């Protein structure tokens, strides 16, 4: 839906930012400002966003982080949540965009999205030389879903390469130009040039799962269905690790998602232990960084910056030796190039993909610590968790089909037994008791037998029916 110039002008930098940031949440956002050719970055609390953005000098190149962070540092490892998907289109680098106005560029981007089967962006922003396409989400995606978010980002950027999508601008820690600030390279002001309105007149918002199902090759429900079928087929087989053929307990996680959860587990382990001993710091840094790279959330170009952030989290006073990460850097480059490592007749990613038992032994993780982790757990604990999930799932299925919880069932049975015994004590036959209670003779007999109630034989005159005789 096209908008008038007046409608589009209503979007200030602060208003556009509030489309995907929430000043009432805990966390931080970042501002990048060019001051006389030097880019200076600052982090601020989300609660201060209206004030901070109100103080921005519109005559300076200014960029805003699209995600929110739990630390005043916009490294991926500090990601808290993100409320949109985006693509930064350098249309000025393409032949087709030559001579077109910002509004014409926006129309072309909408056409490209339609041709590629991509949902219409909520907002299109003219950055001064190119177009920012943004898909607003109904709710912010938490850090646990980052691998899935990354997959959507990679798909969008790949499909929009023809429109000039910047392949290097797809990470969640990215900053994009702020509305109402100048792009000094062109002299143009960054502004909204298209809003796709929903039924409420506001920019349309997408359910993240819906977008993921539209964008990704295999829909989530298909993945779940396939997983359930595999689970049933291999119920009695040894659990296997996806992507490597190693015997382990991690089936059901994709490679990237698994790597991210392992990173989270190691950071949780630090918290559980109240920190990291001096002799263990480099071990923690090496493996955390390895899993961060394996998750696809960062790359070799940003590896050392992310390493510095991880090192500060391990020990703020620790000056780690970056030379000790050179081997990991080399493996990261190989991993990004798609190279594999052959071992035991099988191929593995160039980065490290250890078994859980290896990590448990390496970090000496106790059973009580494993109980608070998600993926770095023993085979026995994984099996117990799986059985518990299966039991809960089966119970939910039974209830959905009309079954009642055991305690409720037993309570009702006790009441029926008591009623049957009362009627039997009045001299009624089993058949009559069954008819009055609306149950089978077998059930009535079972309730009576459970109490061993002794009564005289029913009168042949009344056929077991008791009559009240007036006094």
**Residue 119, CB half-sphere, CA atoms under 13 Å: how many?**
25
One domain, residues 286 and 242: yes
Q: What is the pLDDT of residue 427?
A: 81
**Tens digits of pLDDT across the chain (471 residues):** 445 454 555 578 888 999 999 999 999 999 999 999 999 999 999 999 999 999 999 999 999 999 999 999 999 999 999 999 999 999 999 999 999 999 999 999 999 998 888 999 999 999 999 999 999 999 999 999 999 999 999 999 999 999 999 998 889 999 999 999 999 999 999 999 999 988 888 899 999 988 988 888 654 444 445 455 545 544 443 333 333 333 344 433 478 899 999 999 999 999 999 999 998 999 999 999 999 999 999 999 999 999 999 999 999 889 888 889 999 999 999 998 888 888 778 888 899 999 999 999 999 999 999 999 999 999 999 999 988 888 888 777 777 766 656 566 566 677 778 888 888 888 888 888 888 888 888 888 888 887 654 444 444 444 444 333 333
Cα(157)–Cα(161) distance, integer angstroms = 6
Q: Is residue 185 part of a domain?
A: yes
In this prediction, residue 244 carries a pLDDT of: 34
Both 254 and 358 in one domain: the answer is yes
In the block, which residue shows the tokens 């980052």? 146
The residues, any chain, with a CB within 8 Å of residue 150's CB and separated by 6 or more, are 170, 171, 172, 256, 295, 296, 297
d(Cα 298, Cα 332) in Å, to the nearest integer?
Answer: 10
Helix (H) or strand (E) holding 244: none
Tally the domains of the chain.
3
Whole-number Cα distances in Å, 446 to 213, 361, 407, 454: 54, 56, 19, 14
Cβ neighbours for 199, distance < 8 A, ≥ 6 positions apart: none
- Could you tell me if 208 and 66 lie in one domain? yes
Q: Are strands 182-183 and 175-177 parallel, antiparallel or unpaired?
A: unpaired
Helix or strand or coil: residue 276? coil
Asked if 172 contacts 66 with a C-beta cutoff of 8 angstroms, the reply is: yes
Phi and psi dihedrals of 124, rounded to 5?
-120, 125
Flag whether 398 is in a domain. Answer: no
Residues 6+ apart with CB under 8 A from 274: none
- If asked whether residues 236 and 165 sit together in one domain, one would say no
Write b or e for each residue in 50-84: b if 16 or more Cβ atoms lie within 10 A of its Cβ, otherwise e.
eebbeebeeeebbbbbbbbbebebbbbbbbbbbbb
In a domain, 401, yes or no: no
Together in a domain, 371 and 431: no
Nearest 5 degrees, angle CA 186-CA 190-CA 194?
A: 125
Sign of the dihedral through C-alpha 177, 182, 186, 190: positive
CATH for 137: 3.30.70.1790
Residues 20, 157: one domain? yes
| DSSP label at residue 190 | P
Token digits for 161? 């390469």
CA dist 182 and 177 (Å) reads 9
H-helix segments, 245-298: 255-272, 281-294
Query: How far is C-alpha 171 from the chain's CA centre?
Result: 16
CA–CA separation, 178 and 64 (whole Å): 6
Beta bridge partners of 69: 28, 79
Cα–Cα distance measured from residue 23 to residue 157, given in angstroms and rounded to the nearest whole number: 29
For residue 466, being part of any structural domain is answered with no
Please indicate, yes or no, whether residues 160 and 269 belong to a single structural domain of this protein: no
User: Among the residues of 345-462, which ranges form H helices?
Assistant: 356-363, 367-370, 379-400, 406-425, 430-437, 441-451
The confidence score (pLDDT) of residue 470 equals 35
- Sign of the alpha-carbon torsion through 35, 39, 41, 47: positive
Q: Are residues 56 and 200 in the same domain?
A: yes
Domain annotation covers residue 86: yes
Q: Of 303, 232, 311, which is closest to residue 270 (Cα–Cα)?
A: 311
For residues 325 and 230, membership in a common domain is answered with yes
Q: Which domain holds residue 237?
A: 223-387
Which residue, 170, 196, 215, sits at the end of a domain? Answer: 215
Angle between helices 281-294 and 356-363 (to 10 degrees): 160
The pLDDT, as a whole number, for residue 130 is: 95
- Position 393 in a domain: no
Dist. CA 39–CA 45, nearest whole Å: 20
Helix (H, G, I), strand (E, B) or coil at 217: coil
Q: Which residue's structure tokens are 């680098």?
A: 93
**For 181-203, b where at least 16 C-beta lie within 10 A, e where not — what string?**
bbbeeeeebbbbbbbbeeeeeeb
Q: What pLDDT, on a 0 to 100 scale, did the predictor assign at position 12?
A: 81
How many CB atoms are located within 10 Å of the residue 19 CB?
A: 18
Q: What's the pTM value of the predicted model, to 2 decimals?
A: 0.68
| Whole-number pLDDT of residue 471 | 30
The total of other beta-carbon atoms located within 10 Å of residue 430's CB is 20
Among 339, 357, 387, residue at a domain's last position: 387
* Structural domain ending residue among the three candidates 332, 359, 387: 387
User: Taking the CA atoms of the chain, what radius of gyration do you get in angstroms?
Assistant: 32
* DSSP at 24: T
- Give residue 219's pLDDT: 43
Q: Look at residue 456 and tell me if it is in a domain.
A: no
Question: What pLDDT, on the 0 to 100 scale, is given for residue 229?
Answer: 54
Residue ranges in 42-191 assigned as alpha helix (H): 49-54, 102-115, 146-159
Q: Write the Ramachandran bin of 433: left for phi over 0, alpha for psi from -120 to 50, otherwise beta.
A: alpha
Q: Same domain, yes or no, for 373 and 436?
A: no
Closest listed residue to residue 356, CA positions, set 383, 384, 374, 376 = 376
In a domain, 461, yes or no: no
- 116 and 183, same structural domain? yes
180 shares a domain with 34? yes
Segment holding 307, helix H or strand E:
helix 303-314
């Amino acid at each position: 839906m096209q908008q008038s110039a007046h409608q589009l002008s209503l979007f200030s930098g602060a208003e556009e930012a509030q489309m995907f940031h929430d000043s009432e949440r805990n966390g931080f956002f970042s501002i990048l400002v060019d001051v006389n050719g030097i880019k200076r970055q600052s982090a601020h609390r989300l609660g201060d966003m209206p004030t901070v953005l109100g103080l921005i000098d519109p005559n300076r190149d200014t960029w805003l982080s699209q995600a929110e962070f739990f630390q005043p540092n916009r490294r991926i490892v500090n990601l808290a949540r993100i409320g949109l998907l985006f693509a930064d289109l350098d249309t000025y680098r393409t032949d087709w965009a030559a001579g077109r106005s910002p509004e014409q560029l926006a129309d072309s981007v909408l056409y490209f999205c339609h041709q590629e089967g991509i949902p219409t962006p909520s907002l299109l922003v003219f950055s001064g030389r190119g177009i920012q396409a943004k898909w607003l989400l109904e709710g912010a995606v938490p850090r646990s879903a980052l691998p899935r978010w990354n997959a959507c980002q990679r798909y969008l950027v790949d499909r929009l390469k023809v429109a000039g999508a910047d392949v290097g601008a797809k990470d969640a820690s990215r900053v994009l130009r702020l509305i109402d600030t100048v792009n000094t390279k062109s002299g143009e002001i960054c502004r909204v040039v298209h809003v796709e309105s929903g039924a409420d007149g506001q920019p349309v918002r997408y359910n993240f799962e819906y977008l993921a199902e539209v964008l990704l090759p295999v829909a989530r429900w298909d993945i779940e269905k396939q997983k359930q079928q595999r689970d049933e087929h291999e119920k009695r087989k040894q659990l296997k690790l996806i992507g490597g053929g190693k015997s382990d307990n991690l089936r059901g996680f994709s490679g990237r998602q698994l790597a991210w959860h392992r990173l989270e587990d190691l950071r949780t382990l630090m918290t559980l232990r109240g920190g990291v001993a001096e002799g263990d710091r480099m071990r923690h840094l090496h493996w955390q960084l390895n899993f961060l790279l394996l998750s696809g959330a960062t790359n070799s170009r940003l590896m050392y910056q992310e390493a510095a952030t991880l090192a500060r989290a391990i020990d703020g006073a620790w000056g780690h030796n970056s030379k000790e990460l050179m081997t990991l850097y080399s493996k990261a480059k190989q991993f990004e190039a798609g190279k594999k490592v052959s071992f035991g007749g099988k191929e593995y990613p160039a980065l490290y993909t250890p078994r859980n038992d290896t990590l448990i032994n390496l970090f000496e993780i106790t059973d009580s610590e494993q109980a608070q982790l998600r993926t770095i757990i023993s085979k026995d604990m994984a099996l117990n968790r799986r059985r518990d999930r299966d039991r809960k799932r089966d119970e939910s299925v039974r209830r959905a089909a009309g079954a009642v919880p055991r305690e409720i069932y037993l309570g009702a049975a006790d009441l029926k037994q008591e009623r049957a015994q009362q009627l039997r004590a009045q001299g009624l036959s089993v058949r009559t008791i069954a008819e009055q209670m609306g149950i089978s003779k077998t059930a009535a007999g079972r309730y009576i037998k459970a109490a061993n109630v002794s009564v005289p034989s029913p009168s042949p005159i009344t056929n077991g029916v008791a009559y009240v005789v007036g006094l």
